[in-house]
Amino acid sequence: MDPTLRILDAAANRAREALRVMEDAARFAAGHAALTEDLKELRHGLVTALEDAGLGRTLLAAHRDTPGDVGTGITAPAESSRAGLRTVALAAGARAGEALRSVEECAKALGGRPAGAAPVVEALRYRLYSAEQTLILALGSGRVVRWRLCVLITESLCARPWLDVAAAAIKGGADCLQLREKNLEDRELLARARALVAAARGATVGHGGSGTAVIINDRPDIALAAGADGVHLGQTDLPVRAVRELAGARLIVGVSTSCIDEARSAVRDGADYLGLGPMFATTTKDKPELRGPPYLHEVLADSVLAPVPHLAIGGITAINAGELVQGGCRGVAVSGAVCGAEDPRAACAAIVKAWENSGRNPPPNGGPCRPSAPSP
């Protein structure tokens, strides 16, 4: 058998397989229709390029010798497990690029008509690099987000010292804290972020989990400098792509949304979780239009958005949290109802009780936990 044709057969198979894995991730995890179509076209484009060069699948299959392949029994430890779907996609992207390069070089080695496939495959390889980039960014940080109560800490809303409120919130069951201060100078904001991270790292949430995540509002630079878990972005803040350029997968990224189009866009861009709201009337932030629980139901009914972690926000209290939980809500973000309470711990515990009373404890997002280690 011609060894070059054997290599072409194996490399083409690897490329098609890897592209299919990427296509499935783009379709079912990222919900990215354009990317799914592009990856499908790449897969079919490789088949067409080889067939047009006289390297059809029948010829290549005739040079296949799986029993005699010395490489079938060689594996690396990392191949036996994956840390998550993002890692699966990363591995598939690398495998597809390597396989296409092997196809390209072997086509050149054959000369004549088969060599004509080389420039076509080269063009496919460069298209792959762009598709791989889009897919990696769309899959976000790959870090676990499993929060049911996030408390937004703003000093002006606090009835007690803000750090005392944060400590009490953790004891009451908050598994995420977001520092939301719009008017502080950078050094003071960084100092507070670090203080909040230190408090959260040494704490145990009140309902039995370990640790509490810390998110910084608007500022990825402060989040990175403070060692926080992530950053939360509004519709007029930095885009998710810009945060990834700064932080890669080191930060969880959440995005506030108030309609399905914004939510879909955020997920395509690689948001790890969605803010949904406003649910109810609130004096904390001026929102002329209430989206209400119907927006939550719309998100949960969407096949792409439903699996994405979320935090419903806007006027949520212990009184109305149960309505959201009964409607399928997996997590809520609360500000004034906790910060302005005389007993923030009790206020948090009352909200967490909404899940216990619903019989949905832990929620579908999972129980309270610290995010997993960043993916590479």
Q: Is residue 278 reached through a cis peptide bond, with omega within 30 degrees of 0 on the bond before it?
A: yes
| Active-site residue, 353 included | no
Computed on alpha carbons and rounded to an integer, the radius of gyration of the chain in Å comes to 25
Q: Which amino acid is at 36?
A: T
Q: Which amino acid is at 352?
A: V
Q: Kindly give, in sequence order, each residue whose CB lies less than 8 Å from that of residue 280, ignoring residues fewer than 6 positions away.
A: 290, 292, 314, 315, 316, 320
| Active-site residue, 244 included | no
> In this structure, what are the phi and psi dihedrals at residue 310, rounded to the nearest 5 degrees?
-145, 160
d(Cα 118, Cα 50) in Å, to the nearest integer?
A: 9
Catalytic residue among 16, 125, 143, 180: 180
CB 14: neighbour CB atoms within 10 A? 18
CB 281: neighbour CB atoms within 10 A? 10
Catalytic residue among 102, 256, 335, 375: 256
The full length of the chain comes to 376
| Active-site residue, 180 included | yes
Catalytic residue among 20, 160, 285, 360: 285
Least Cα distance to 309 among 292, 332, 335, 280 occurs for 332
How far, in Å, are 131, 140, 155, 369, 375 from residue 263 at the CA level? Answer: 22, 14, 29, 24, 23
Q: Is residue 362 reached through a cis peptide bond, with omega within 30 degrees of 0 on the bond before it?
A: yes
d(Cα 87, Cα 83) in Å, to the nearest integer?
A: 6
Catalytic residue numbers, as ranges: 180, 256, 285
